[in-house]
Amino acid sequence: MKTQWFHIEDIDRQRGLVDAAAEILRRGGLLAIPTETVYGLGADGLNEAAVRRIFEAKGRPQDNPLILHVPDASWLARYCTEIPPAAYRLAERFWPGPLTMILKRRDIVPLRTTGGLDTVGMRCPDHPITRAIIERAGVPVAAPSANTSGRPSCTTAAHVREDMDGKIDGIVDGGDCRVGVESTIIDLTVSPPRLLRPGGLALEEVRAVLGEVAVDPAVTRQMDADEAPRAPGMKYRHYAPKAPVTVVAGTPGQSARYLLRHAGEKAGVIVFDEFAPLFSTQVVRTLGGMNDPGAQAHRVFDALRAFDRTDVTEIWAQCPDSKGLGLAVENRLKKAAGFRVADARDGTVFLGFTGGTGAGKTSALRALERMGAYVVDCDAVYHEMLSQDGPLRREIAAAFAGAFASDGTLDRQKLGELVFSDARQLERLDRLVRAHVPRESVRRAMDAGAELVGLDAIKLIESGLGALCDATVAVLAPEELRVRRIMARDGITESYARARVRSQQDETFFRTQCSYVFVNDYTDLEEAQAAADAFLRDIIKQLKEDKRNV
């Protein structure tokens, strides 16, 4: 079968597009349609033969019911009976939008569509062209997600083509799906109403309208073979890339620390944006910012799908907490993992320290050590790794052959000359360093088994190490003072000292990027130490309390 392609950006031809697409549905064909959540594989939901074709094209088990898509709530009474007022309240508030309601089915809806159930899922998608197509076809459109059964859902028309080309009559290309995860499913035939699948509408929002909403156990755990979840689809392995997935639970910092220690060279990792620099030797897919579940929902399926085009043998994923859309992202990742979850929660407090030369970081780090912390100087780790045989040194040797003498010893000055005169080379070296030094630093810290760890790094934030810490401290001092300190310490001229200070990040950078600021403008060492002790005591107390509260 030749699959016809419809571009909706082509506004001039839109009228013709809607007619042609509606015609496919009317004559019992299969049409992939864009929605705000994911692409759907649509057919006339009242036409048994057409519905059977959906199951065939997807390879979907016959007992897994389809939901009906309608252009507005006035269509509900045609296909449903005993509709509670709550259904209209929800439709009023959230339709068109990512909400599917399970209601009692009228006989006009074939059992083939509902997988033999006496209920039917109803949804009004928030996509004007798709609603126009349904309206023109004049039939409710049964549409499961357009992926092959078991694969991640499709959030672009290209994904649909991967799975359905040659198997269906047409694909309407509406670009990227805005939400990225499927609709939230609420069963309104039970009391209290029940969440069957978390999705693009946050549970908190549904509760704000309905009051109490129960959560089906299939949302948060694997169902046993003899258990029947209320949404039949929830019992199947789902969303799964070819390589096995493990979800890592814990705060973003904890799970990143865990990944650095456990994800092997051949692993693919799904991480929040902030951590991407730490995993540059692995196949990385970013999920969105760690505090942005909307972006994570948008990307989760594409991230999972992308690994099938690589040769990774295992996949590890960071996972958001269950607030807002996080519940849906967590559910999709855990389903992709078959609910295999590694627990990264640890009792360790990681504190990151940064700040320019001469700002007085050392006083703060000594104070931390007095509190029993294990401190890792990342710069020292780097130099150690450069001087010993190991992956970092081998990769640097391969990339910067000129920096090594014929007997294999590294000429540091040569390496410096090579990179400081060429931004691209510097970036290349940076990438290698970031791939190895943080990993080694974290490994040392974890192996030390300390409850309190300090990570000391000039590029703490840029390297991704800052995001890995429970809190970060910027140590700052006025420029004049820094210049005088480094002139005295390193025996250099004022103009050189000033140039060094100015080549580093400015105060605003540190103030906006770090969780705490310690201004070390003391000229008396003892005074500086006393101030650092007091400052850290307060922070640690606060962090320990925060940990107890989670």
Residues that bind ligand TXA (CB under 6 A): 35, 37-38, 40, 64-67, 100, 102, 114, 117, 119-121, 123, 125, 143-145, 182-183, 185, 196, 230-234
Give Dmax (Cα) for the chain.
Answer: 90
Displacement of CA 447 from its chain's centroid (Å): 28
Give the Cα separation of 161 and 125 in Å (integer).
21
Cβ proximity of 230 and 321 under 8 Å: no
In the complex with ligand TXA, the residue whose CB is nearer, 230 or 485, is 230
Residue 125 touches which of Mg ion, ligand TXA, none (Cβ within 5-8 Å per kind): ligand TXA
CA torsion sign for 276, 282, 285, 287 is negative
Least spacing, CB of residue 441 vs ligand TXA, in Å: 43
In the beta sheet, which residues pair with residue 142? Answer: 43, 68
Residue 45 touches which of Mg ion, ligand TXA, none (Cβ within 5-8 Å per kind): none
Cβ proximity of 203 and 118 under 8 Å: no
In the complex with Mg ion, the residue whose CB is nearer, 194 or 238, is 238
Least spacing, CB of residue 69 vs ligand TXA, in Å: 6
Q: How many residues bind Mg ion (CB under 5 A)?
A: 1
Residue 149 touches which of ligand TXA, Mg ion, none (Cβ within 5-8 Å per kind): none
Angle at alpha carbon of residue 450, lines to 447 and 451, rounded to 5°: 135
Residue 457 touches which of Mg ion, ligand TXA, none (Cβ within 5-8 Å per kind): none
Half-sphere exposure of 365 (CA within 13 A, CB side): 18
Cβ proximity of 311 and 241 under 8 Å: no
Least spacing, CB of residue 227 vs Mg ion, in Å: 20
Give the Cα separation of 546 and 550 in Å (integer).
7
Least spacing, CB of residue 200 vs ligand TXA, in Å: 7
Least spacing, CB of residue 62 vs ligand TXA, in Å: 12
Residue 114 touches which of ligand TXA, Mg ion, none (Cβ within 5-8 Å per kind): ligand TXA
Instruction: Name the residue with the smallest CB distance to ligand TXA.
Output: 233
Q: DSSP secondary structure string, 366-433?
A: HHHHHTT-EEEEHHHHHHHHHHSSSHHHHHHHHH-GGGB-TTS-B-HHHHHHHHHT-HHHHHHHHHHH
Within 112-171, the residues that bind Mg ion by CB under 5 A are: 145
In the complex with ligand TXA, the residue whose CB is nearer, 38 or 51, is 38
Least spacing, CB of residue 145 vs Mg ion, in Å: 3
Least spacing, CB of residue 55 vs ligand TXA, in Å: 10
In the complex with ligand TXA, the residue whose CB is nearer, 143 or 455, is 143
Indicate the burial class of 361 (C-beta count within 10 angstroms; 0-12, 13-18, 19 or more).
buried
**CA terminus-to-terminus distance, the chain:** 55
Q: How far is CA 337 from CA 103, 144, 219, 238, in A?
A: 31, 21, 14, 9
Residue 231 touches which of ligand TXA, Mg ion, none (Cβ within 5-8 Å per kind): ligand TXA
In the complex with ligand TXA, the residue whose CB is nearer, 121 or 358, is 121
Least spacing, CB of residue 298 vs ligand TXA, in Å: 14
Residue 183 touches which of ligand TXA, Mg ion, none (Cβ within 5-8 Å per kind): ligand TXA
Q: Which DSSP category does 360 fall into?
A: -
Residue 234 touches which of ligand TXA, Mg ion, none (Cβ within 5-8 Å per kind): ligand TXA
Task: Note the residues at the interface with Mg ion (CB under 5 A).
Answer: 145
